[in-house]
Amino acid sequence: MILTIASREFRSLFLSPMAWTILAILQFILAFLFLTQVEAFTSLQPKLASIESAPGLTDIIVPPLFGNAGIILLLVTPLLTMRLICEERRNKTLSLLLSAPISNTDIILGKYLGTLGLMLLIIMLITLMPLSLLCGGELDFGKLFANILGLLLLVTAFTATGLFMSCIAGHPTVAAMGAFGILLLLWILDWSVGMNDQGSELFAYLSILRHFQNIQSGLISSVDVGYFLLFISTFIALSIRSLDNDRLQK
Amino acid sequence: MTALIEAERLTRYYGKHCAVNDVSFTVAKGEVLGFLGANGAGKTTTMQMLCGNLAPSAGQIKINGFDLLDQPKAAKLNLGYLPDTPPLYKELTVQEFLLYCAGLHGIAKSSVTAAINRAQQRCGLMDVADRLIANLSKGFQQRVGIAQAILHNPEVIVLDEPTVGLDPIQIREIRALIRELGQDHSVILSTHILTEVQESCSHVQIIDRGQLILNETIAGLNRQMDTGTLQIATRLALDINSLLTIPGVSSIENISENRIKIHHSVTANPAEQIAEQIIAAGWGLQELTPVKRSMEDIFISLTKEHREL
């Protein structure tokens, strides 16, 4: 049941120009950033050669690329998730799912996994860029893997937030704005840590950016992974609750 | 007769507004229940509750013996629902959409094609199977909605205003389909078209302001239509006083010189004696018709009565 919904969600993304446009634009922008990074590396190479334990090819190219991809996906994910539940409710197609023998959990997870399918595709396409460097150089696969994992956890968290906003918002635009607002807030929360507030410890923990950067640096700790898993399950649970709420009151 | 739908004391509040108030009914296999009501009477709310789209504030619903709240999956397996707006994904073709619905209802892979073909045939969708739903006319979209509801051959079919937006020929086809479905399923049909109920239903319920005010079979309703009035036209003027002596006649109303209305008790119909007397007296009987109340009269008088209470 979950897979039925997920596969329909995934395929319907490609029925509209939406998914294609996003894939094309993302790929174009990130390819440009990737090339700038490669350019930077070639100009730095002579200097790096004289330094002991200098950052390698992977260090200079991969983290900035994946970091930028994270920021761009912060903007893009709300656009992809805004229609998930909201549109079904507006088009009155939600009752098809509600009167079918499937639970609300199935509906939410199906929608979530369907969108994640596209996210995986995006990450795969991004990963192809550093892999192309294998033609003429060597990569630190451990670091590359850490970056892929970081970006994956990041977008799954983004998607969960977007899905929740789509559940509670009455209009897709509102859902997109809401999701973008929450994500941006959590992203920049880190900036206030420098000030000596009492809440800064909490803020530092809540900041998505900090956890993402920790993983990106190659340090995969259970604190960071746990943060993302907690984040995702919270928003998924909230989404299911909000769909349940639909039946109870209107 | 096993009851496929059992609704017990359903109540639904929207905030402080009570949309459905203490409604109970059962529908057995082979029955087609027509659900009548004015706009905003609570028809759609009741339907939504029956199909698990809305939780009742109080009361219990059983579909095919499964409680909708305790065993929602088992209950919904036996349920086909067409909401007032057909739930269609406009970017899919009819075939794709029905395939998706088959997946949602857990139809076994081996029987999916057969199920889709049968539903398309029943709803006359064979010619448009490969067209996008968005490009279909309103009537065809409505048919796709019905196909979706009967696809998995459910025991209980709930149709919310199924003939809205259809042309007269399509309406006749859909009504025939409903009668056909009613033979081996339970069908609930909500409508505000009164003739539709007379044509395709075996039972009628009238709901007004959230309360059930009539629960009858069509035969019972026909009896209610009998008002106990005869209209008589003759060639010559009648002697009213002599007619009044016939047992069962309660009063006589003079419409014109040659035309009268006789009111009688519903239990004893004096039509035969009246005819005999008129012929014996040589007044020249030209017309003797029982005056029937239309379904609309009953509907209006019942809702009026209910509102005055």
Of B52, B91, B101, the CB nearest to A98: B52
pLDDT score, position A196: 60
Instruction: Give residue-wise pLDDT tens across range B62-115.
Output: 998 899 888 989 999 989 999 988 999 998 999 999 999 999 998 988 999 999
Residue B300 forms part of a structural domain = no
Nearest chain A Cα distance for residue B309, angstroms: 30
Interface of A with B in 144-203 (CB under 8 A): none
B71 and B168: one domain? yes
Extract the tokens encoding B240: 């009213």
Nearest C-alpha in B relative to A250? B14
Is A99–B51 a contact, with Cβ atoms under 8 angstroms apart? Answer: yes
Question: Is residue B302 one of the residues assigned to a domain?
Answer: no
Strands B58-63 and B3-14: antiparallel
> Where is B191: in which H helix or E strand?
strand B186-191
Q: Are the Cβ atoms of A101 and B73 closer than 8 angstroms?
A: yes
Cα(B238)–Cα(A46) distance, integer angstroms? 126
Tell if the CB–CB gap between A97 and B104 is shorter than 8 Å. yes
Query: How far is the alpha carbon of B100 from chain A, nearest alpha carbon, in Å?
Result: 7
Cβ(B278)–Cβ(B205) under 8 Å?
Answer: no
pLDDT for the residue numbered B307 = 79
List the end-to-end C-alpha distance of chain A, in Å, as a whole number: 26
Whether B219 is covered by a domain: the verdict is no
**Which residues constitute the domain of residue A145?**
2-248
Which residue among B146, B164, B186 closes a domain?
B146
Nearest CA of chain B to the CA of A155: how many Å?
Answer: 27
Continuous segment of H or E residues that includes residue B8: strand B3-14
Among the partner residues B88, B89, B104, nearest to A102 by beta-carbon distance = B104
Nearest to B269 by CA among B302, B223, B235: B223
Pair B140, B281 in one domain? no
Residue type, B30: G
Longest Cα pair distance anywhere in chain B, in angstroms?
78
Q: Are A191 and A171 in contact (CB under 8 A)?
A: no
Using a CB-CB cut-off of 8 Å, the residues of chain A touching B77 are: 101
Backbone angles phi, psi at B182, to 5 degrees: -65, -20
Q: How many domains does chain B have?
A: 3
- What is the predicted pLDDT for the residue at A106? 93
SS (H, E, C) B218-267: HHHHHHHHEEEEEEEEECCCCCHHHHHCCCCEEEEEEEECCEEEEEECCC
> According to DSSP H, which parts of chain B are helical?
43-50, 72-77, 94-104, 109-122, 138-150, 168-184, 194-200, 218-225, 240-244, 271-281, 295-308
3-state secondary structure (DSSP) of residue A208: helix
| Each residue's pLDDT tens digit, B196-226 | 888 888 898 888 888 888 888 888 877 777 7
Written as tens digits, the pLDDT of chain B (309 aa) is 578 889 989 999 888 888 898 889 999 888 899 988 888 888 889 999 999 888 899 999 999 889 988 898 999 998 999 998 899 999 899 999 999 999 999 898 899 999 999 999 988 889 999 999 999 988 889 889 999 999 999 989 999 988 887 888 888 888 888 888 888 888 999 887 878 888 888 898 888 888 888 888 888 877 777 767 888 888 888 777 887 888 878 788 888 878 888 888 777 778 888 888 888 888 888 888 887 777 777 778 777 877 777
Instruction: Indicate whether B71 and B176 sit together in one domain.
Output: yes
Within a domain: B304: no
**B145 Cα to chain A: minimum distance (Å):** 10
Give contacts of A248 with chain B, Cβ < 8 Å. 55
A91 close contact with B: CB closer than 8 A: yes
Backbone φ, ψ for residue B193 (5° rounding):
-95, 115
Q: Structurally, how many domains does chain A consist of? A: 1
Contact A100 B88 (CB under 8 A): no
Same domain, B192 and B72: yes
The interface pTM score, or ipTM, of the predicted complex is: 0.86
A233: Cβ contacts below 8 Å, ≥ 6 apart: none
Q: Which of B53, B82, B98 is the best substitution to test chain A (most A C-beta atoms within 10 A)?
A: B53
CB contact under 8 Å between B51 and A95, yes or no, is yes
Same domain as B275, residue B135:
no
Are B130 and B16 contained in the same domain? no
Report the interhelical angle of A104-132 vs A2-15 (nearest 10°). 50
Record: contact B52-A99, CB cut-off 8 A: yes
Question: What pLDDT score was predicted for residue A149?
Answer: 95
User: What pLDDT is stored for residue A207 in this prediction?
Assistant: 86
Contacts A4 to B, Cβ<8 Å: 100, 103-104
Structural domain includes residue B221: no
Is the CB of A98 less than 8 angstroms away from the CB of B51? Answer: yes
Q: Which residues of chain A have pLDDT under 70?
A: 192-199, 250
> Which residues of B are less than 8 Å from A12 in CB distance?
89, 91-92
Distance from the Cα of B77 to chain A's closest Cα (Å) equals 5
Q: Nearest CA of chain A to the CA of B24: how many Å?
A: 20
Which residues between 130 and 169 in chain B have a beta carbon less than 8 angstroms from any beta carbon of chain A? 148
**Which residues have C-beta within 8 Å of that of residue B58, sequence separation ≥ 6?**
B9, B10, B11
Token representation of residue B223:
């009896």
CB of A93 within 8 Å of a chain B CB? The answer is yes
Structure confidence at residue B260 (pLDDT): 84
Cross-chain CB nearest to A93 (options B72, B77, B89): B89
Query: Which residue range forms the structural domain that includes residue B35?
Result: 1-78+154-209
Q: Which of B73, B74, B87 sits opposite A93 (nearest CB)?
A: B87
B6 and B65 in a single domain? The answer is: yes
- What's the rounded Cα separation, in Å, for the pair A14 and A23? 10
Does residue B5 sit in the same domain as residue B62? yes
Q: DSSP letters along A156-185, please?
A: HHHHHHHHHHHHH-SSHHHHHHHHHHHHHH
Tell me which of B104, B127, B146 is where a domain ends.
Answer: B146
A243 contacts in chain B (CB < 8 Å): none
Q: Taking CB atoms and an 8 Å limit, are B81 and A95 in contact across chains?
A: yes
Kind of pairing between the strands at B3-14 and B17-28: antiparallel
Q: What does the longest C-alpha to C-alpha distance in chain A come to? A: 69
How many angstroms separate the Cα of B116 from the Cα of each of A20, B79, B148, B149, B305?
A: 31, 17, 9, 11, 47
DSSP tag of B128? G
Are residues B244 and B276 located together in one domain of the fold?
yes
CB B128 within 8 A of CB B84: no
pTM of the model: 0.85
Q: What is the DSSP string of A97-139?
A: HHTSS--HHHHHHHHHHHHHHHHHHHHHHHHHHHHHGGGTS--
Interface test with A, best of B48, B54, B104, B151 (most A CBs within 10 A): B104
Q: Which residue of B has its CA nearest to A3?
A: B103
Q: Is residue B222 part of a domain?
A: no
Report CB contact under 8 Å: A99, B79: yes
What is the model's pLDDT at position B272?
83
Is residue B214, in this structure, part of any structural domain at all? no
Instruction: Say whether both B252 and B136 belong to one domain.
Output: no
- Using CA atoms, how far apart are residues A48 and A58, in angstroms rounded to an integer? 13
Contact present, B56 and B10 (Cβ < 8 Å): yes
CATH number, domain with residue B271: 3.30.70.1560
B70 near A CB under 8 A: no
CATH number of the domain to which B28 belongs: 3.40.50.300
Q: Is B48 on the interface with A (CB under 8 A)?
A: yes
